[in-house]
Structure 1
Amino acid sequence: MSYSVDFEKALEIGRPPNIRSLFPNSRALIVSGKVIDRALLAKGKAMTMAANGRNHIIIRGVLRAAQRARAAVIIEIARSEGGAKAYCAVNYWNIARQVDAVCNELGITVPVAIHADHYGIKSPDDLPYARQEIPSLFDAGITSIAIDASHMPDDENLLASIDLARLVPNWAGYETEVGEIKGKYGLSSVDEALFLVQGLNAHDIFPDWIALNNGTTHGLEASDAGIQVELTAEIHEALAGYGISGAQHGTSGNNSDRLRAIASKTRTTKANVATALQMISWGVVVNDYGNAILDDDGRFIKVKGEGVSEELWQEMVAYADSQGWTGGNYKKLNAIFENKILGQPRHIRERMARRVEDFVYTMLVEVFNAGDTARYAVDAILEAGSFDLGPKTGRIESPEEWTEEKIREKAARLSTDKGPEGDFDD
């Protein structure tokens, strides 16, 4: 059959219940995160972009790139970016509506998942509110979530994950995390990752992805060594029997060769890109993998005639200066300037979206090997005959060995280095 015929069938059966309810007349193929993961696994040695839509222009550019590359893709927003204390106008509760609208406007026919990234739990005190808030995300059109309790000790991470995973619909994509994402400090280990995944498995929780601290940072700067490809491969191999893929965070500080290695040598199917897309949309000078280049005074360099207007850029810089914001803290400009960005002339908005599109297309096709994965995603839906692809594995571990008491005993025997505390929300 042709892709267009299969697309129509996938559109009929592949959209989850919340998406069908919210957008009954839509022609956007918004799917579970499970579908995206299976598509990249089917192609093999491939991962797709999980693009943080910090502004509306980024969402447009990413979707245009995915359509051009015929790639299944993920649009996401993290809790720090789009939660209750957001610094972006795009948030957990409007991102699905924005994606659906853009898909219909532009005739996007590739499968797209809507991911709530880094739903952070910093302490057990966060759990009561999380139990209230997480269902509201799915009410608003989220189709995949990362519950990130990795800031806590291993036993608390696992127990919080068990608690909150019950709020995630069975059909939805689910990501878990071990080890805060903070560069060379506190690298994740095989034992830590096995502890988390085995404990979840014993409670009939089967994550689609695991995020590791494998040597990368969030934000602008690369760590000393960047992503540790061999460490990642070792941990993924140890987890192979549990059917879990890798989620690579903090890609903006790593070069294309290292990202190609992650795609080809590990079980990673999802690669988060956030800060790079923000900077590219604004017109900031970046290197080939999206890391901003600073001048001798440590300030961003704006490309004349690219991104936002020169006048708006000067206003943004002046505002950041007035707040004492430099480097990564420029992210706080997103919510403040979203409406002014959208109020620019059409040709400026278009050049912003085109700059994002060109960068994302190159990453999808030439670095991540995600080109033509839309076909695999549609095939997965048709083979399942449903929006719900089910888990990749069943229960392997014994529940009796993973009671709360035994979880705490096992965690006490782990030898781990969490590294220094810090602000690693993105």
Structure 2
Amino acid sequence: MTKPLIYSSDFETALDLGRPPNIKQLFPNSKALIVSGKYIDRAMLIKKNCMTIAANGRNAFVIRGALAAAQRANAAIIIEIARSEGGTAAYCAVNLWNIARQTDAFMNELGITIPVAIHADHFGIKTKEDIEPAKTQIPSLFDAGITSIAIDASHMPDAQNLLANIELYPFVPEWAGLETEVGEIKGKLGLSTAQEALFLIQGLNAHNIFPDWIALNNGTTHGIEASDTGINVELTTQIHEALSKYKISGAQHGTSGNNSERLRDIASKTRTTKANVATALQMISWGVEVNDYGNAILNNGQFIKQKKRGVSEQLWKEMQAFANANDIKGGNFKKLNLPFENKLLAQPKEIRDRMAKDVEDFVFGLLTNVFNTTDTARIVIDEILKNRSHDPGFKAEKIEQKNNWTTEKIMETASMMNTDKGPEGNFDD
């Protein structure tokens, strides 16, 4: 792998040209190359057969570790937080309004020179009533330094999902990375189909909306995988092929717990360029024992805390006691992030350092040995220099006719679709 550009003339030019206007305004003197999510996606497509990590920064140690790993690998990455993790009802102290500030600060502190996008993941629109307040909240995210967003209305029926995306698109800057989603993440239940994905992407295309990524329900789950079934590579490949003329990439959710070979297949056999990793990084930062692909190992339903790894033994006892007192189990250990944030930060430096270092080593392994992301940082910088802009433009062009995708025709077409959304329920983001 090549070494990252350390404040070279190319880097300085990319810093001047490639940072979006919100980033320049927020951090005028920064040396952090925070870019649009579009550039991260383009770099993966140019290299081919690779994807990058979208690291859910549930705590400062995850963000620091992921950035250090990317610098070692000379890889362009995404730092993200989902609305459920860091929105107005957050269970993490890192949130949608401070994640860019934290990332920028860590990049300057650590001398990180690889390109990074800041992504608001799963900005959930679960009912029609969520749309109006989103018209205020979405601009507030970009005011706070977000450079990419996932408008996730997949909890609603197909027609309402499409219509919500159309209605909210004007509130997303044209230069920003954009993700859309079809099918809630329910594991093997309610799997997405090519018909559903085409309906969403064709309807958006007709309205001059060209997402960079689409997320599917392709067999995986969020949190801890109960079994090693996970991602359905064949289904993913089939849907991506059906969407190929719309030039949209895949976003893989629920990556934690899928074995390395399956993730290599997703990178090499599909059009996936973005792989979300959340639970694995959280558990590793705390010192919980995981297998080689990040799934927590349980002993009689209990997590195994490794000695001299992650948080201090005393703090882990406090976290367990809090979980027991509040009936917090399994994947819901994520609810410990907010109440314990300050106690995590108050630990001795050697413990804080080892927490970030374990995340770094795990992410470095993913980037270099599984995702094939090595040296994509240089590709982003070359693309910025070529475009001489913070906005690389759209990959796709309009194919569909708007008059075929009016509200009435959207409702009519959706009513004739034969879909299985799986069981009802509150499937967490």
The normalised TM-score by structure 1 is 0.98
User: How much does 1:243 deviate?
Assistant: 1.1
Amino acid at match of 2:311: V
Out of 293, 301, 306, the residue aligned to residue 303 of structure 1 is 306
Over residues 6-56 of structure 1, what are the superposed CA-to-partner deviations in whole Å (9 max), with x where a residue is unaligned?
211100100000000000000000000000000111110000000000001
Q: CA RMSD in A?
A: 1.1
Alignment of 1:68 onto 2:99: no
CA shift for structure 1 position 421: 2.1
- Judge conservation of contact 2:228–2:257 (CA < 8 Å) in 1: no
User: Which of 70, 87, 94 in structure 2 is aligned with 1:90?
Assistant: 94
The 3 A distance-change label for structure 1 pair 223 and 166 is: farther
SS in 2 for 1:166: helix
Mapping of 1:154-169 within 5 angstroms? 154-169=158-173
Counterpart for residue 286 of structure 1: 290
1:10-89 matches, cutoff 5 A: 10-89=14-93
The Cα shift of 1:384 comes to 1.1
Alignment partners' CA distance in 1, 2:57 and 2:353: 16
On the 8 A contact 2:189/2:219 being kept in 1, the answer is: yes
Name 1:225's counterpart in structure 2: 229
Structure 2's unaligned 5+ residue stretches are none
Answer yes or no: is the 8 Å Cα contact 1:216–1:223 preserved in 2.
Answer: no
Aligned residues: 425
Between the aligned partners of 1:264 and 1:422, the Cα distance in structure 2 is: 33
Matched residue SS, 1:115? strand
Partner deviation per Cα, 1:310-361 (whole Å, 9 max, x = no partner): 0000000000000001101100000000100000000000000000000000
Give 1:332's aligned residue.
335
Unmatched runs of 5 consecutive residues or more in structure 1: none
1:37/1:208 contact within 8 Å kept: yes
Q: For the residues of structure 2 that align with 1:215 and 1:380, how far apart are their CA atoms?
A: 34
Residues in 1 aligned to 2:427 and 2:39: alpha-carbon distance in whole angstroms: 28
1:261 pairs with 2:274 = no
Q: Distance in 2 between matches of 1:3 and 1:307?
A: 33
In 2, Cα distance between equivalents of 1:267 and 1:252: 19
Q: Does 2:151 match 1:147?
A: yes
2:316 to 300, 313, 325: 313
Q: 1:48 and 1:347 mapped to 2: Cα distance? A: 29
CA contact (8 A) 1:76 1:115 kept: yes
Q: Which amino acid aligns with 1:328?
A: G
1:199 to 194, 203, 211: 203
Going from structure 1 to structure 2, the CA distance change for 1:150 and 1:57 (only over 3 Å counts) comes to same
- Measured after TM superposition, the shift of residue 4 of structure 1 is 2.8
1:187 is matched with which residue: 177, 191, 200? 191
Residues in 1 aligned to 2:6 and 2:66: alpha-carbon distance in whole angstroms: 25
| Alpha-carbon offset, residue 3 of structure 1 | 8.5
TM-score, scaled to structure 2: 0.98
Q: Give the Å deviation of 1:165.
A: 1.2
1:377 counterpart = 2:366: no
Distance in structure 2 (CA, Å) of the matches to 1:264 and 1:222: 25
Match of 2:118 among 114, 121, 137: 114
Pairwise CA distance, 1:222:
4.3
Structure 1 position 413, deviation (Å): 1.1
Instruction: Give the whole-Å Cα distance in 1 for the aligned partners of 2:226 and 2:198.
Output: 27
SS of residue in 2 equivalent to 1:31: coil
Structure 1 counterpart of 2:371: 368
Matching residue of 2:12:
8
1:35-84 deviation line (CA, Å, top 9, x unaligned): 00001111100000000000011100000000000000000000000000
User: Where in structure 2 are the equivalents of 1:128-147 lying within 5 Å?
Assistant: 128-147=132-151
> Aligned residue for 2:391?
388
C-alpha separation in 2, matches of 1:261 and 1:421: 31
